[in-house]
Amino acid sequence: MDLTWTEFEKVEMRVGTILEVNDFIEANKPAYQLTIDFGNVIGIRKTSAQITKRYQKEALLNRQIVAVVNFPKKQIGKFMSECLVLGAVGEEGDVILLAPDFKIENGLRIG
> Is residue 106 pLDDT above 90, yes or no?
yes
> Is residue 55 pLDDT above 90, yes or no?
yes
pLDDT digits (tens, 9 = 90+) for 71-83: 999 999 889 999 9
- In whole numbers, what is the pLDDT of the chain averaged over residues? 95
Sign of CA dihedral 97, 88, 69, 84: negative
Q: What is the pLDDT of residue 24?
A: 96
pLDDT digits (tens, 9 = 90+) for 9-47: 999 999 999 999 999 999 999 999 999 999 999 999 999
Query: The whole model's pTM is what?
Result: 0.94
Q: What's the chain look like in SS3?
A: CCCCHHHHHHCCEEEEEEEEEEECCCCCCCCEEEEEECHHHHCEEEEEECCCCCCCHHHHCCCEEEEECCCCCEEECCEEECCEECEEECCCCCEEECCCCCCCCCCCECC
Q: Which amino acid is at 72?
A: P
